[in-house]
Amino acid sequence: MSDAGTAPLTILLAGLGGQGVVTAGDLLIAAALHEGYEVKKSEIHGLSRRFGSVSCQVRLGSPLHSPLRGHGGIDILLALEGYEALKQLPYLKPEGVGLVNEFWLRPAAIQTGTETPPSREDPRLQWFPGTTQAQELEAPRSLNYYMVGVVSEWLPLSETSWEQSLAEGQRAKAAPTNRQLFERGRAAARALRRRGPRGVPR
């Protein structure tokens, strides 16, 4: 297990059914386990599977007790869709960071109403063109790999751990594309961090 000095880090993953939120969580878990961290993961099942919001929390570090945190307890919000990101914002710590895929799918309740998405002005949010990138590679369903690449820049996990994680349980056919998207996400995040965004939890 990791040394007790690594304080717990909590990541909330959010998105829509079919976007691969849970798989993204599994990739984080696999990398963290390889790194020797203690991990806990909390998933929401049940009704949420039908076109609904999907979310899960991944925690790593120690000491680790609860599998989830409540409002104001999340270090990193990783969202695959805009509304889901905004919905989950109350969970984010004031000093936390939100990494969001630039993609909006209006909930049924506002399909009729306003065209304008709600304010995205929260300074904690960073936006990434995951959907565009995934479409460019003709792999819309591998969007989650792009966003995992993005978040990898914020996590204390080594290259080898990500190698391991990406290699595990891969359908051979999709693997190269997934890998490519991961790298693109990672590169985009690195570029952003070089430009010096707000403080990030490490």
Residues that bind another protein (CB under 8 A): 16-18, 22, 29, 33, 38-54, 63, 65-73, 83, 86-91, 107-112, 118, 141
Is the CB of 113 or the CB of 199 nearer to another protein? 113
Q: How many CB atoms are closer than 10 A to CB 144?
A: 28
Are residues 67 and 42 in contact, defined by beta-carbon separation less than 8 angstroms?
Answer: yes
Minimum distance of another protein from residue 194's CB (angstroms): 31
Q: Whole-number minimum distance, CB 182 to another protein, in Å? A: 20
The SS3 of residue 11 is strand
In the bound state with another protein, the residue whose beta carbon lies nearer, of 115 and 159, is: 115
Kindly tell me which of 86 and 181 has the beta carbon lying closer to another protein.
86
Q: Which is nearer to another protein, 83 or 128 (CB)?
A: 83
Q: Which of 158, 176, 194, 174 is nearest to 31 (CA)?
A: 158
- Separation between Cα atoms, residue 12 and residue 7, nearest integer Å: 16
CB-wise, 25 or 185, nearer to another protein? 25
Q: C-alpha distances in angstroms, 97 versus 12, 47, 79, 94, 197?
A: 11, 28, 11, 9, 10
Least separation in angstroms between residue 71's CB and another protein is: 5
Mutual orientation of helices 21-34 and 143-152 as an angle, nearest 10°?
40
Smallest gap from Cβ 30 to another protein, in A, equals 9
Residue 193 CB, nearest approach to another protein (Å): 27
Residue 152's Cα: distance from chain center in Å? 9
Identity of the residue, 57 or 126, whose beta carbon is nearer to another protein in the bound complex = 57
Q: What is the nearest approach in angstroms of another protein to the Cβ of residue 104?
A: 12
Query: What is the b/e burial string over 37-52, where b = at least 16 CB atoms within 10 angstroms of the residue's CB?
Result: bbbbbbbbeeeeeeee
The DSSP secondary-structure symbol of 162 reads H
